[in-house]
Structure 1
Amino acid sequence: MIPGPDQALITRNALAFGRTAGLLTMFGGLLGLTVHATAAAVGLSALLLTSATAFTVLRVAGVVYLLWLGICALRSSRRRDDAPQAVAEQPRSPLQHVRTGFMSNVLNPKVALFFVTFLPQFLPTHGHTLSQAVLLSAIFAGLYLLWFSLYNVVVDRIGSLLRTPRARARIERITGLLLVGFAIRLAVQQP
């Protein structure tokens, strides 16, 4: 529930394209989360984190993707400021929303790090740990799904207040700045 790239993208897409777009973005994030949970459950994330090169590649890809999303949002906010009545959001396919959420989550090394550091603390030291890891990951995914579904409904409900041209330009600007900030923070943090 800590604000991050997923929340910024879900908010932006729900306001720009409607509740379904927010839900599709959330679903993409959930798919990305599933990739990290599965990798952690079978031990691949631990291998990723022990390889400085692999971790750096993932981190750089995440930084580039977040910067690109942030710059696109900032450019969109500038177009809205210049001609708020003339700018209509281009329709997107459902797959584009899913891809945005998926890429944001799967390229986030902090999610991999979370599963590698958090998950093992709750696993038994002997026996079948894979089933326990899958169960704990499913619980986490369920909480993600519940939280962002509720969040998406709230954003949609107050969306009429936030869908005015001036508010949309501000939201685009804030989202862009947040995504660029997340990218910079990810770039400068030590693994």
Structure 2
Amino acid sequence: MNEYFLFLFTTLLIALTPGADTVLVTKNTLSQGRRAGLKTVAGVCTGIIIHELLAILGLSAIIASSVLLFNIVKYVGVAFLIFMGLSILLSKKYYNTNNITNSENQKFETPSFFQGLLSNVLNPKAIIFFIFFIPQFIKPSENISLQMFLLGVTPVLITLIWLAIYVNLIGYIRKWFNKPTFQSIFQRITGFVLITLALKLAFEKGQ
């Protein structure tokens, strides 16, 4: 049980550490509202589930053991982040959150889930996490299936709870987001952060 609490604490720290997922959740919540933010969170959590399934099926191990496959995942993820960053930087369209109708909200929110999903699925660090970190907390002498279930559900629940709380917290500052000056500055910061994360990922040493 002590090992599980250590895993729980470490997973919580990882979830609290800002990354590309957090940037996208922030952007979508401020520009499109809590619903879009929560859809992005759902996409991120779905990505975590996909990584866990891949790890269980052994596909992640194959990717992690192949420099070519690992780099393909890595650079597709880099390209996605750069694309998102440039799209935000080049966008001159601002959203007035007080004047968006429900139908417009649905139109704006459509890509939110997939942004969160791709941001997580195309992150090679997640592959490493599930392949090399989780197994350290599994005891061969105990029920393997139960341990895998607990260690698999924990990151999803922690990420879901934390990002849902985060979405609701930043949802309260949306009234300031209607100001064009704030929107312009925020879009540029978001774009630069995503591109910086992409470059950091691109130049990190792999295996």
Normalization by structure 1: what TM-score?
0.89
RMSD of the TM alignment (CA)? 2.1
Q: CA deviation at 1:23?
A: 0.3
| Structure 1 SS opposite 2:111 | helix
Which residue in the other structure is 1:151 paired with?
A: 166
Q: CA deviation at 1:164?
A: 1.6
Give the residue type in structure 2 aligned to 1:144. Answer: T
Q: Deviations over 1:35-59 (max 9, x none)?
A: 1122223332122100111101100
Q: Deviations over 1:12-49 (max 9, x none)?
A: 00011110000001101111111112222333212210
- Aligned pair count? 185
- Picking from 176, 187, 194, the partner of 1:172 is 187
CA distance in 1, matches of 2:54, 2:155: 14
Which residue in the other structure is 2:38 paired with?
A: 23
CA distance in 2, matches of 1:134, 1:44: 18
Q: CA deviation at 1:157?
A: 0.9
Which residue in the other structure is 1:53 paired with?
A: 68
Which residues of structure 2 form unaligned runs of 5+?
1-15
67-76 or 118-127: bigger deviation = 118-127
Q: Percent identity?
A: 32
State whether residues 20 and 194 of structure 2, in contact with CA within 8 Å, keep that contact through their aligned partners in structure 1: yes
CA distance in 1, matches of 2:28, 2:109: 11
Which residue in the other structure is 2:132 paired with?
A: 117
State whether residues 39 and 45 of structure 1, in contact with CA within 8 Å, keep that contact through their aligned partners in structure 2: yes
Normalization by structure 2: what TM-score?
0.82
Which residues of structure 1 form unaligned runs of 5+?
none
Q: CA deviation at 1:162?
A: 2.9
